[in-house]
Structure 1
Amino acid sequence: MSQQGRNKGASAPSSIHPSAILDQAIAAHRSGNLSEAERAYTTILKGSRTHAVALHMLGLLHAQRGQFADAEPLLKKAARVDPGNPDVLFNYANVLRALNKPDDALVWLAKVIALSPNFADAHLNRGAILLARKELKGAIAELDRAIAIAPSSGAFANRGSAFQQLGRLDEALEDYQRAVELAPSDPQNHFLLSEVLTELGRDDESIRALERTIALDKAFPFALIKLVAARRKRAEWQSFEREQAALDDAVESGVAIDPLTFFHASSSSAQQLICAKTFVTKAAPERGAAIPRTRTQASRLRVAYLSADFRNHATANLTAGLFEQHDRERFDITAISYGPDDHSKMRDRVKAAFERFEDVTHLADDDVVKLIRGLDIEVLVDLGGFTTGARPEILARRAAPIQVSYLGFPGTMGASYMDYILADRIVIPDEEQKHYTEKVVYLPDTYQVTDAKRPILPDPPARSEVDLPEAAFVYCAFNRTSKITPPLFDVWMRLLAKTAGSVLWLLDGDPIARENLRREAVSRGIAAERLVFAPPVPVENHLARHRLAHLFLDTLPYNAHTTASDALWAGLPVLTCLGTTFAGRVAASLLNAVGLPELVTRSLDEYEDLALRIAHDPELRAALNSKLAMHRTTWPLFDTARMTRHIEQAFDEIWRRHCAGEAPASFAVQTLP
Structure 2
Amino acid sequence: MKREWRGRCSLQQRRLEFLHSSPKNRPVIGVQKPNHMSQQSRNKGASAPSSLHPSAILDHAIAAHRSGNLSDAERAYTTILKGSRTHPVALHMLGLLHAQRGKFADAEPLLKKAARADPGNADVLFNYANVLRALDKTDDALAWLAKVIALSPNFAGAHLNRGAILLARKELHGAIAEFDRAIAIAPSSAAFANRGSAFQQLGRLDEAHGSYQSAVELAPSDPQKHFALSEVLTQMGRDDEAIGALERTVALDKAFPFALSKLVASRRKRADWRSFEREQAALDEAVESGVVVDPFTFFHASSSPAHQLTCAKTYVANVAPDRGAAIRKTPSPVSRLRVAYMSADFRSHATAHLMAGVFEEHDRERFDVSAISYGPDDRGEMRNRLKAAFERFEDVSHLTDEDVAKLIRQLDIEILVDLGGFTAGARPKILARRAAPIQVNYLGFPGTMGASYIDYIMADRIVIPEAEQQHYAEKVIYLPDSYQASDARRPLLPNAPARNRVGLADDAFVYCAFNRTSKITPVLFDVWMRLLTKTAGSVLWLLDGEPIARENLRREAVARGIGAERIVFAPPVAADEHLARHQLADLFLDTLPYNAHTTASDALWAGLPILTCLGTAFAGRVAASLLNAVGLPELVTHSLDEYEGLALRIAHDSELRTALKSKLATNRTSWPLFDTIGMTRHIEKAFNEMWRRHCAGEAPASFAV
Same fold (TM over 0.5): yes
For residues 179-258 of structure 1, the aligned pairs below 5 Å read 179-258=215-294
Instruction: Give, in angstroms, the shift of residue 25 of structure 1.
Output: 2.9
Q: Partner residue of 1:560?
A: 596
Q: Partner residue of 2:74?
A: 38
Q: Partner residue of 2:700?
A: 664
The reply on whether 1:619 has 2:649 as its aligned counterpart is: no
* Alignment-mate amino acid for residue 633 of structure 1: T
Q: Partner residue of 1:21?
A: 57
The reply on whether 1:70 has 2:106 as its aligned counterpart is: yes
- Whole-Å separation in 2 of the counterparts to 1:138 and 1:376: 36
* Alignment-mate amino acid for residue 171 of structure 1: E
For residues 98-109 of structure 1, the aligned pairs below 5 Å read 98-109=134-145
Q: Partner residue of 2:7?
A: none
- Whole-Å separation in 2 of the counterparts to 1:601 and 1:211: 38
Q: Partner residue of 2:29?
A: none
Question: Is the 1:456–1:543 Cα contact (8 Å) retained in structure 2?
Answer: no
Sequence identity, in percent? 82
- Whole-Å separation in 2 of the counterparts to 1:108 and 1:655: 47
Question: Is the 2:323–2:434 Cα contact (8 Å) retained in structure 1?
Answer: yes
Secondary structure of 1:475's match? strand
Q: Partner residue of 2:422?
A: 386
Instruction: Give, in angstroms, the shift of residue 91 of structure 1.
Output: 1.3
Question: Is the 2:369–2:391 Cα contact (8 Å) retained in structure 1?
Answer: yes
Q: Partner residue of 2:463?
A: 427
After the TM superposition, list the runs of 4 or more consecutive aligned residues in structure 1 that deviate by more than 6 angstroms.
none
For residues 74-223 of structure 1, the aligned pairs below 5 Å read 74-223=110-259
Q: 1:53 aligns with which of 79, 89, 97?
A: 89
- Over aligned residues, Cα RMSD in angstroms? 1.7
Question: Is the 1:163–1:172 Cα contact (8 Å) retained in structure 2?
Answer: yes
- Does the C-alpha gap of structure 1 residues 408 and 615 become closer, same or farther in structure 2, counting only changes over 3 Å? same
Q: Partner residue of 2:43?
A: none
Q: Partner residue of 1:4?
A: none
- Does the C-alpha gap of structure 1 residues 641 and 409 become closer, same or farther in structure 2, counting only changes over 3 Å? same
Question: Is the 1:373–1:400 Cα contact (8 Å) retained in structure 2?
Answer: yes
Question: Is the 1:135–1:364 Cα contact (8 Å) retained in structure 2?
Answer: no
Q: 2:403 aligns with which of 360, 367, 370?
A: 367
Secondary structure of 2:573's match? coil
- Whole-Å separation in 1 of the counterparts to 2:312 and 2:436: 21
Q: 1:416 aligns with which of 452, 457, 465?
A: 452
Question: Is the 1:560–1:586 Cα contact (8 Å) retained in structure 2?
Answer: yes
Q: Partner residue of 1:458?
A: 494
Question: Is the 2:614–2:637 Cα contact (8 Å) retained in structure 1?
Answer: yes
* Alignment-mate amino acid for residue 161 of structure 1: S
Secondary structure of 1:384's match? coil
Q: Partner residue of 2:380?
A: 344
For residues 629-648 of structure 1, the aligned pairs below 5 Å read 629-648=665-684
* Alignment-mate amino acid for residue 87 of structure 2: H
- Whole-Å separation in 1 of the counterparts to 2:358 and 2:627: 20
Instruction: Give, in angstroms, the shift of residue 607 of structure 1.
Output: 0.6
- Whole-Å separation in 1 of the counterparts to 2:573 and 2:341: 29
C-alpha deviations, 1:293-349, integer Å up to 9, x for none? 211011111111111111111111111111111111111111111111111111111
For residues 438-587 of structure 1, the aligned pairs below 5 Å read 438-587=474-623
Question: Is the 2:494–2:577 Cα contact (8 Å) retained in structure 1?
Answer: no
The alignment of Structure 1 onto Structure 2 pairs a total of residues equal to 656
Secondary structure of 1:407's match? coil
- Whole-Å separation in 2 of the counterparts to 1:119 and 1:284: 33
C-alpha deviations, 1:181-208, integer Å up to 9, x for none? 1211110010111112122221111111
The reply on whether 1:274 has 2:274 as its aligned counterpart is: no
The range that moved more, 495-504 or 42-51, is 42-51
* Alignment-mate amino acid for residue 581 of structure 2: R
- Whole-Å separation in 1 of the counterparts to 2:615 and 2:423: 21
- Does the C-alpha gap of structure 1 residues 339 and 137 become closer, same or farther in structure 2, counting only changes over 3 Å? farther
Question: Is the 2:493–2:606 Cα contact (8 Å) retained in structure 1?
Answer: no
Secondary structure of 2:110's match? helix
- Does the C-alpha gap of structure 1 residues 448 and 114 become closer, same or farther in structure 2, counting only changes over 3 Å? farther
Secondary structure of 2:363's match? coil
Q: Partner residue of 1:403?
A: 439
- Whole-Å separation in 1 of the counterparts to 2:649 and 2:480: 31
Q: 1:649 aligns with which of 682, 685, 689?
A: 685
* Alignment-mate amino acid for residue 91 of structure 1: N
Secondary structure of 1:327's match? coil
Instruction: Give, in angstroms, the shift of residue 238 of structure 1.
Output: 1.4
C-alpha deviations, 1:60-87, integer Å up to 9, x for none? 1121222323322211222232334332
Q: Partner residue of 1:10?
A: none
Question: Is the 2:479–2:704 Cα contact (8 Å) retained in structure 1?
Answer: yes
The range that moved more, 129-138 or 651-660, is 129-138
- Does the C-alpha gap of structure 1 residues 312 and 168 become closer, same or farther in structure 2, counting only changes over 3 Å? farther
Secondary structure of 1:503's match? strand
- Whole-Å separation in 2 of the counterparts to 1:507 and 1:663: 45
Instruction: Give, in angstroms, the shift of residue 164 of structure 1.
Output: 2.5
What TM-score, normalized by structure 1, do the two folds share? 0.94
- Does the C-alpha gap of structure 1 residues 593 and 140 become closer, same or farther in structure 2, counting only changes over 3 Å? farther
- Whole-Å separation in 2 of the counterparts to 1:652 and 1:138: 48
Secondary structure of 2:229's match? helix
Question: Is the 1:68–1:99 Cα contact (8 Å) retained in structure 2?
Answer: yes
For residues 306-325 of structure 1, the aligned pairs below 5 Å read 306-325=342-361
Question: Is the 1:259–1:276 Cα contact (8 Å) retained in structure 2?
Answer: yes
The range that moved more, 152-161 or 474-483, is 152-161
Instruction: Give, in angstroms, the shift of residue 110 of structure 1.
Output: 4.0
The range that moved more, 362-371 or 144-153, is 144-153
Instruction: Give, in angstroms, the shift of residue 121 of structure 1.
Output: 2.3
The range that moved more, 514-523 or 192-201, is 192-201
Instruction: Give, in angstroms, the shift of residue 496 of structure 1.
Output: 0.4
- Whole-Å separation in 2 of the counterparts to 1:314 and 1:242: 32
Unaligned segments of structure 2, at least 5 residues: 1-49
Q: Partner residue of 1:6?
A: none
- Whole-Å separation in 1 of the counterparts to 2:694 and 2:195: 44
Question: Is the 2:292–2:315 Cα contact (8 Å) retained in structure 1?
Answer: yes
Instruction: Give, in angstroms, the shift of residue 356 of structure 1.
Output: 1.1
Secondary structure of 2:167's match? helix
* Alignment-mate amino acid for residue 522 of structure 1: V
- Does the C-alpha gap of structure 1 residues 659 and 604 become closer, same or farther in structure 2, counting only changes over 3 Å? same
- Whole-Å separation in 1 of the counterparts to 2:172 and 2:686: 39
Secondary structure of 1:332's match? strand
* Alignment-mate amino acid for residue 329 of structure 1: E
- Does the C-alpha gap of structure 1 residues 27 and 601 become closer, same or farther in structure 2, counting only changes over 3 Å? same
For residues 292-307 of structure 1, the aligned pairs below 5 Å read 292-307=328-343
Instruction: Give, in angstroms, the shift of residue 240 of structure 1.
Output: 1.0
- Whole-Å separation in 2 of the counterparts to 1:404 and 1:140: 39
- Does the C-alpha gap of structure 1 residues 403 and 109 become closer, same or farther in structure 2, counting only changes over 3 Å? farther
* Alignment-mate amino acid for residue 198 of structure 2: A
Question: Is the 1:476–1:549 Cα contact (8 Å) retained in structure 2?
Answer: yes
Question: Is the 1:134–1:364 Cα contact (8 Å) retained in structure 2?
Answer: no
Question: Is the 1:269–1:435 Cα contact (8 Å) retained in structure 2?
Answer: yes
The reply on whether 1:326 has 2:362 as its aligned counterpart is: yes
The reply on whether 1:607 has 2:614 as its aligned counterpart is: no
The range that moved more, 357-366 or 19-28, is 19-28
Q: Partner residue of 2:12?
A: none
Q: Partner residue of 2:628?
A: 592
- Whole-Å separation in 1 of the counterparts to 2:146 and 2:490: 54
- Does the C-alpha gap of structure 1 residues 618 and 344 become closer, same or farther in structure 2, counting only changes over 3 Å? same
Instruction: Give, in angstroms, the shift of residue 363 of structure 1.
Output: 1.0
